[in-house]
Amino acid sequence: MKLTHHYEVDASLEHMWTAFTDLRRVGRCFPGAQVTEVTGEDFVGALKVKLGPVTLTYDGTGSMTGRDEDTATARVEATGKERHGFGKADITIDVRLARIDDATTSVDLATTLDVKGAPTNLGGGIAQRASDPLIDRFVHCLAGPDGASTGGPDDEPLDIGRSVLPGLVASYGRSVKGLFGKKR
Select from 32, 62, 18 the least CA-distant residue to 163: 32
* Banded pLDDT at 172 (limits 50, 70, 90): very low
57-108 pLDDT tens trace: 899 999 999 999 999 999 999 999 999 888 898 999 999 999 999 999 999 9
116-135 pLDDT tens trace: 876 555 555 555 665 677 78
Query: For residues 37 and 23, is the Cβ–Cβ distance under 8 A?
Result: no
The proportion of the chain whose per-residue pLDDT surpasses 70, expressed as a percent, equals 70
Q: pTM, whole model, 2 decimals? A: 0.74
Task: Find all residues with CB under 8 Å of 99, minimum gap 6, and list them.
Answer: 12, 13, 105, 106
Does the 2-179 domain belong in CATH 3.40.50.720?
Answer: no
Separation of first and last alpha carbons in the chain: 36
Task: Find all residues with CB under 8 Å of 7, minimum gap 6, and list them.
Answer: 106, 107, 135, 136, 139, 140
